[in-house]
Structure 1
Amino acid sequence: MHTLVVGLSHQTAPVELREKFSFDPDRIMMPLRALRDTKSMLECVIVSTCNRTELYIVADQLHTGEYYAKAFLEGWFRVAREEFVPHLYVKTNKDAVEHLFRVVCGLESLVIGETQILGQVKQAFQVALQAGTTGTLFNHLFKQAISLGKKVHTQTEIGQNAVSVSYAAVELGKKLFTSFAKKTVLLVGAGKMSELTAKHFQASGVKEVLVANRTFSKAEELAAIFQGTAYRWEHLTKALLEADVVVSSTGAKQFVITHDMVKNVLLERKKALFFIDIAVPRDIDPSINELDNAFLYNMDDLEEMVASNIHLREQEAERVEVWIKEEQTAFREWLDTLGVVPVITALRNKSLQIQADAMTKMERKLPDLTEQQRRVINKQTKSIVNQMMHDPIMRMKELASTEEKEAALRLFKHLFALELDDAQADQPQEKMMPSGLPLPTN
């Protein structure tokens, strides 16, 4: 058995290509089962997000597994292979396992340490379980990966520090206000950055969003996104009186919010105002920082905070890398024991059969035994068998991860006279490709 991951991500493919390979989450069962029924495939999980589409596969052979995974993508999405293969990455066995661990920990994300991908991988695995496309290997691997992801996001601060300008603005606001529950955000200008920052504030619980823009129709459009209120440009001062947080990004060549304007607003409202100037050139007169109850942050402040937080995440990522190596070792040790499981099972079955036969003979020779005596003798003889088998089984598990594994297995079977059919291949029957998918020509 071999493990592969075949995929496209933001690291290897542009968005216009990635969007061609997006699976509908509400209809993922069909492609999952189609992939599982493809030749060479034994198990599969499909992870499909806005930043990545990945096929996780257990295949009987590496070459055919990779070939038919590419053929599946080509046929399912009807995109010519030469268009996407240059952007495709293929990772096998230990590299595939490491990649999955890195993905769930957020180390392969567009923003390092983001937590959303862990839930997406967990959901993908649960759907694959329901579809019946996983087995012994992936059931163990994905559960181990998800546990690792949870550990990383609960025991480190890799996802705790803002690493985008818009989210950093919210984090700064939290230092001023204990809660956003009763606060109002004013967007000055209707740019994309203002909109994104407002979305973060809204997610943090702000009560209301106001929008003031030179073109009133654009103010109305943006206000509608947040079920907020639009203000005409000449009513900007009135909007400032209503706001607690002001996000400005107009593209104007001179200050649109002046020192005197804010001074008069503060005298009337007698409450703190938090300004975020994300415009270049700046929209807000920096001298307002001299006013009581006025707090102004510009792009330099936010970018400095983001750079510091990225550094902190990178430091946490170094801890996570160590954990990933440990989990890889644990998985490899578990995988090595799979080969000895049939031998250990055969030994246990044989030893228990010997014990059962001995009990049958004893009961014939001692017919006057009470039921209580039979139970005691049965329990004790089973205990003797288990104790005798414990050390050989443990030694066999230890040898399973060494280079002498195959020779040790043969010796083990010979010493205990275990009847196993070595010629019986543990391979599934050959399967046909789903209808309409291309077959290899070589």
Structure 2
Amino acid sequence: MSLLVLGLSHHGAPLELLEAASLDSGARGRLESAIVGSEHVVESVVVSTCNRTEVYAEGLTFHGALTDVSEALAAATGVPLADLQPHLYVHYEDRGIAHAFSVASGLDSMAVGEAQILGQLRDSLSRAQRRGHVGPALNALLQQALRVGKRVHTETAIDDVSRSLVGAGLAAAQEVLGSIHDAEVLVIGAGGMGALAASTASQVGVASVTVINRGATRAERLAERVGGTSRPWGERSEALSDADIIISSTGATGVVVTASDAAAAAQSRDGRPQVYIDLALPHDIDLAVGDLDTATRVGLGELGELLSHAGEVPQVSEARDIVTAEVAAYLTERSAEAVAPTVAALRSRAQDVVDDEMRRLGRRTPDLTDHDRAEVERAVHRIVEKLLHAPTVRVKEMAQSGQGGSYAKALSELFDLDPREVSVVSTPPALPSIDDEEVGS
């Protein structure tokens, strides 16, 4: 079996396609069910965020799994496969592991370093676990990805970089409004991105921050945290009229601010300009808002273009170094785990031979003293241990260099081993320990 990652993201897919392929939690679960119910896939986790929709799958065969996942994704999104294929990326095995760690660390996000992805990835894994769509392979991979992401955010200052998406939006607003220190900012949505927007706006020194959210309690808490105010969801029209900058990120399936809403706000402002920053996917702010004379709409597409021209910062380089080291360590550990059943089976076979020979010796020499019998058994164990020492060490060394599989297979063939035997793998026997000096002598 092998890991396959297939998806599309802001790196290679137009915003319109990302919107069309965006899936809510229920749709993600149904897609996972369809994938694991196919012929060539045994595990599946679907991750869908504001700038990506991707499938992690443990497949029985690469080409079969690729076909099954591609067709299921097209069916779930309603986007014809022919329209999806030019924009899909495929990562296999080692590259898939590296991709998962990079995603969890925020290195693959439009707003590099954003921490929201950790929660989104955790929620996706939890859903797949509850529904039985994930098994030992993907569970181990994504659990480790979450640990790597947490380490990156703890050991580097990459969180500072994650503000780049909101910062780019505010910079665009400044191009339209001039100084934004006198601007009144309205944040619609109090989730992760809404909280980031409110915090960033407050820190750059705008005149005021107002938060509106469907859940009033969450809006009140966020407003209090940033030194702003909150308003009820039903007062959106009045709040729009008062705001110079509107930042929206709600996760709603339809638009939150219509063109008529924006037109009414513009009329009440006597021509004073407004900037609408849409951080949502699907979009919260009607595209037609940008056609109004006094309104400027900045969406994820425009922000992504602005950010694409920025060079790599030191925090990102540090994060990439951590991810690279973690991928290498994970691959080494996984290779060692892959050969462990063969090593256990080899030692189990050796233990069986020793036990048989000692029983045979007991029948043939009933007068042998306990002391002499113990000495004979120790001598036999020493011989067996010396014989097993070199192949055991060698298979572990080769596993670390990625060559353990072929060597383990050769051992299985030569000694007629069955590493899949549950009793052997669950409780691998160990011959009595012998000093290294004795092994090498």
TM-score bucket (shorter structure): 0.5 to 0.7
List gaps (5 residues or longer) in structure 1: 177-183, 191-197, 226-248, 254-280, 282-305, 423-442
Give me the identity figure in percent: 28
Contact kept? 2:8, 2:52, Cα under 8 Å: yes
In structure 2, the CA distance between the partners of 1:9 and 1:384, relative to structure 1 (3 Å rule), is: same
Q: Provide the aligned length of Structure 1 versus Structure 2.
A: 325
List gaps (5 residues or longer) in structure 2: 171-195, 212-218, 247-268, 274-293, 295-305, 421-441
Contact kept? 1:101, 1:324, Cα under 8 Å: yes
In structure 2, the CA distance between the partners of 1:407 and 1:32, relative to structure 1 (3 Å rule), is: closer
Give the match for residue 152 of structure 2. 152
Q: How does 1:46-65 map to 2 (within 5 A)?
A: 46-65=46-65
2:232 aligned with 1:202, yes or no?
no
- Alpha carbon RMSD of aligned pairs, Å? 4.8
Question: Whole-Å Cα distance in 1 between the matches of residues 138 and 209 of structure 2?
Answer: 48
2:439 aligned with 1:418, yes or no?
no
In structure 2, the CA distance between the partners of 1:27 and 1:387, relative to structure 1 (3 Å rule), is: farther
Q: How does 1:67-106 map to 2 (within 5 A)?
A: 67-106=67-106
Question: Whole-Å Cα distance in 2 between the matches of residues 130 and 380 of structure 1?
Answer: 53
**Aligned residue identity for 1:111:** A
**Aligned residue identity for 2:152:** V
2:374 aligned with 1:353, yes or no?
no
State the secondary structure of the residue aligned to 1:204. helix
Question: Whole-Å Cα distance in 1 between the matches of residues 90 and 126 of structure 2?
Answer: 23
Question: Whole-Å Cα distance in 1 between the matches of residues 224 and 78 of structure 2?
Answer: 39
Deviation by residue 1:350-371 (Cα, 9 ceiling, x = unmatched): 123234445656777779999x
Name whichever of 23-32 and 75-84 sits farther off. Answer: 23-32
State the secondary structure of the residue aligned to 1:47. strand
Contact kept? 1:40, 1:64, Cα under 8 Å: yes
Give the match for residue 39 of structure 1. 39
Question: Whole-Å Cα distance in 2 between the matches of residues 151 and 73 of structure 1?
Answer: 32
TM-score (norm 2): 0.58
2:216 aligned with 1:218, yes or no?
no
Question: Whole-Å Cα distance in 2 between the matches of residues 55 and 402 of structure 1?
Answer: 29
Contact kept? 1:187, 1:210, Cα under 8 Å: no
Contact kept? 2:199, 2:226, Cα under 8 Å: no
In structure 2, the CA distance between the partners of 1:222 and 1:62, relative to structure 1 (3 Å rule), is: farther
In the TM superposition, what is the alpha-carbon distance from 1:335 to its structure 2 partner?
4.0
In the TM superposition, what is the alpha-carbon distance from 1:392 to its structure 2 partner?
3.0
2:18 aligned with 1:18, yes or no?
yes
In the TM superposition, what is the alpha-carbon distance from 1:381 to its structure 2 partner?
9.0
In structure 2, the CA distance between the partners of 1:10 and 1:203, relative to structure 1 (3 Å rule), is: farther
Give the match for residue 324 of structure 1. 323
Give the match for residue 187 of structure 2. none
State the secondary structure of the residue aligned to 1:79. coil
TM-score (norm 1): 0.58
**Aligned residue identity for 1:218:** E
Deviation by residue 1:210-261 (Cα, 9 ceiling, x = unmatched): 89xxxx96348879x9xxxxxxxxxxxxxxxxxxxxxxx99638xxxxxxxx
Contact kept? 1:8, 1:54, Cα under 8 Å: yes
Q: How does 1:279-358 map to 2 (within 5 A)?
A: 314-337=313-336, 339-357=338-356
In the TM superposition, what is the alpha-carbon distance from 1:340 to its structure 2 partner?
2.9
In structure 2, the CA distance between the partners of 1:323 and 1:221, relative to structure 1 (3 Å rule), is: same
Contact kept? 1:32, 1:46, Cα under 8 Å: yes
Contact kept? 2:23, 2:77, Cα under 8 Å: no
Question: Whole-Å Cα distance in 2 between the matches of residues 36 and 335 of structure 1?
Answer: 23
Question: Whole-Å Cα distance in 2 between the matches of residues 187 and 251 of structure 1?
Answer: 21
In structure 2, the CA distance between the partners of 1:393 and 1:77, relative to structure 1 (3 Å rule), is: same
Contact kept? 1:170, 1:200, Cα under 8 Å: no
Question: Whole-Å Cα distance in 1 between the matches of residues 138 and 4 of structure 2?
Answer: 11
Give the match for residue 252 of structure 1. 272
**Aligned residue identity for 1:418:** D
Name whichever of 1-10 and 163-172 sits farther off. Answer: 163-172
Deviation by residue 1:371-407 (Cα, 9 ceiling, x = unmatched): xxx99x9999989977874553232121235586566
Give the match for residue 399 of structure 1. 398
In structure 2, the CA distance between the partners of 1:186 and 1:327, relative to structure 1 (3 Å rule), is: closer
Question: Whole-Å Cα distance in 2 between the matches of residues 169 and 133 of structure 1?
Answer: 37
Name whichever of 20-29 and 104-113 sits farther off. Answer: 20-29
Contact kept? 1:32, 1:131, Cα under 8 Å: no
Question: Whole-Å Cα distance in 2 between the matches of residues 83 and 344 of structure 1?
Answer: 48
Question: Whole-Å Cα distance in 1 between the matches of residues 382 and 122 of structure 2?
Answer: 41
**Aligned residue identity for 1:23:** L
In structure 2, the CA distance between the partners of 1:385 and 1:9, relative to structure 1 (3 Å rule), is: same
In structure 2, the CA distance between the partners of 1:186 and 1:333, relative to structure 1 (3 Å rule), is: closer
Contact kept? 1:29, 1:127, Cα under 8 Å: yes
Question: Whole-Å Cα distance in 2 between the matches of residues 394 and 40 of structure 1?
Answer: 35
2:132 aligned with 1:132, yes or no?
yes
**Aligned residue identity for 1:204:** R
Question: Whole-Å Cα distance in 2 between the matches of residues 72 and 40 of structure 1?
Answer: 12
Question: Whole-Å Cα distance in 1 between the matches of residues 229 and 379 of structure 2?
Answer: 74
Question: Whole-Å Cα distance in 2 between the matches of residues 210 and 407 of structure 1?
Answer: 65
In the TM superposition, what is the alpha-carbon distance from 1:67 to its structure 2 partner?
1.7
State the secondary structure of the residue aligned to 1:398. helix
In the TM superposition, what is the alpha-carbon distance from 1:66 to its structure 2 partner?
1.6
Question: Whole-Å Cα distance in 1 between the matches of residues 239 and 320 of structure 2?
Answer: 46
Higher radius of gyration, 1 or 2: 1
In structure 2, the CA distance between the partners of 1:104 and 1:210, relative to structure 1 (3 Å rule), is: closer
**Aligned residue identity for 2:223:** Q
In structure 2, the CA distance between the partners of 1:221 and 1:363, relative to structure 1 (3 Å rule), is: farther
Contact kept? 1:102, 1:108, Cα under 8 Å: yes
Contact kept? 1:185, 1:210, Cα under 8 Å: no
Deviation by residue 1:295-354 (Cα, 9 ceiling, x = unmatched): xxxxxxxxxxx99xx77x721111121222222222333343455344223212212323
